[in-house]
Amino acid sequence: MSNSQQQHADTIIIGGGVAALWTANVLKKAGQSVCVLTSGPLGDGQSLAAQGVIHGGLKYAVGGKLNEASQELAHMPTRWLDALDGRGAVDLSKAELLCDHQILWSLPSVVSQIVSFFGSKAVRGRCSIIKREDYPAVFNFPEYKGQLFRIDEPVVDPVSMIRALADGVTNETWQVEWDKNSRLEFEGNQISGIVLTNLDHSITRLTANHFVLAAGAGNGPLLEALRWSKPQMQIRPLHQLIIRDDNLPDFYSVCVGNGSKPPLVSTTHTDRAGRKLWYIGGEIAEQRGVARSATEQIQAGKSLFKKLMPWYDLSEAEWFTCRAQRAEPLTNTGDRPPGAFCEKRGNTFIAWPTKLALAPNLAEQILSQTSADSTVNPIDLSLPRPKFGTPPWDLP
């Protein structure tokens, strides 16, 4: 490589989570020359901290109205299942489908509301009543008096999903260290290029028809560096619970309570040592949970389980917590925006999928506004390749 050279891509994507990797796979498949630059490990931040639920919006519709958020999400389970089957927009055939559905259960006070909602025409075909004899082990206790519904919203293993997406763009992905070996260049209101110092100390100036900022919480500092005051980012911290016990049965569920948010959302994972664990989010992990110390949060979790599932003995289980944060565009209400967020400014897209589930929707938005130029060659850089991040249950 000469001391200074120029390379041009159709699209340069900054980030290394589900948003960047899914989009890169889709654009590459469409014939674009893509380049993914991440400053941290792949999946680090939100994607590997996610519960992996591919929402179809039913959870949000329980209040009786299929709102904007639930309609955007309705197509996502099919998109993901196609990808997991190896016949979708991206190839996730090597990713693990943890469960093809979730169980929706409720507090006794809302049983009748739930039964009438799930019997309604609006949701028919996307959920079904589970017969008592088919109750999963967690609910197979006479003390559970409610009704169980199966909702067709799959749960994907975030770890193998990120690996499968990364596999599709291995040769197009590099690790950068901003202000050390890489620097954004601007011209007027646009990103004009990225100057990279290669491992052999040569310089590459990278230009592209389009840039995508898909760095999760990293978009905030990137927007600051660009001196763009809009869109603004909001961070929503979470304080999740991890319950580990070798004998735990599968528990992929959403509990419906009296409020607009489920008090508890559970998924089941296996840690590096092969131990089963329940990963718990929902309202318990939100504001009040965030304000609690780890010890207080564990206590609150134990009390919640005693209240919601008094029949299930967790006395032998080990309890942990982990903190994570969602990065999203700032909305007037502070609520989540309905779909994947993607705003175009000049040659740059600023993107937050807002949900793992909406990564396909984000990639479609970017694909429809970019195109392949047959004269553009693949990018070849001499930079380090990124490592993979670690899910919260495997962190030391």
Ligand X SMILES: Cc1cc2nc3c(=O)[nH]c(=O)nc-3n(C[C@H](O)[C@H](O)[C@H](O)COP(=O)(O)OP(=O)(O)OC[C@H]3O[C@@H](n4cnc5c(N)ncnc54)[C@H](O)[C@@H]3O)c2cc1C
- Interaction site with ligand X (CB under 6 A): 14-20, 37-47, 49-53, 55, 178, 214-218, 221-222, 238, 240, 281, 324, 326, 352-357
Is 19 or 62 the residue whose CB approaches ligand X more closely?
19
Is 115 or 217 the residue whose CB approaches ligand X more closely?
217
Is 47 or 144 the residue whose CB approaches ligand X more closely?
47
Q: For residue 245, give both structure tokens.
A: 């016990």
The least CB distance from residue 359 to ligand X, in Å, is 7
The least CB distance from residue 93 to ligand X, in Å, is 20
Is 51 or 370 the residue whose CB approaches ligand X more closely?
51
* Interacting residues of 219 by C-beta distance below 8 A, sequence separation 6+: 15, 213, 233, 327, 350, 351, 352
The least CB distance from residue 379 to ligand X, in Å, is 16
Residue nearest to ligand X (CB): 218
Please state whether beta strands 203-213 and 348-352 pair in parallel, antiparallel, or not at all (unpaired).
parallel
The least CB distance from residue 280 to ligand X, in Å, is 10
Is 30 or 290 the residue whose CB approaches ligand X more closely?
290
The least CB distance from residue 316 to ligand X, in Å, is 25
The least CB distance from residue 42 to ligand X, in Å, is 5
Quick check: 9 and 157 in contact, CB under 8 A? Answer: no
The least CB distance from residue 327 to ligand X, in Å, is 6
Please state whether beta strands 253-256 and 102-106 pair in parallel, antiparallel, or not at all (unpaired).
parallel
- Integer Cα distance of 395 and 270 in angstroms: 13
What are the φ and ψ backbone dihedral angles of 188, each rounded to 5 degrees?
60, -125
| Nearest of 361, 357, 321 to residue 341 by alpha carbon | 361
The least CB distance from residue 257 to ligand X, in Å, is 18
- Integer Cα distance of 286 and 336 in angstroms: 13
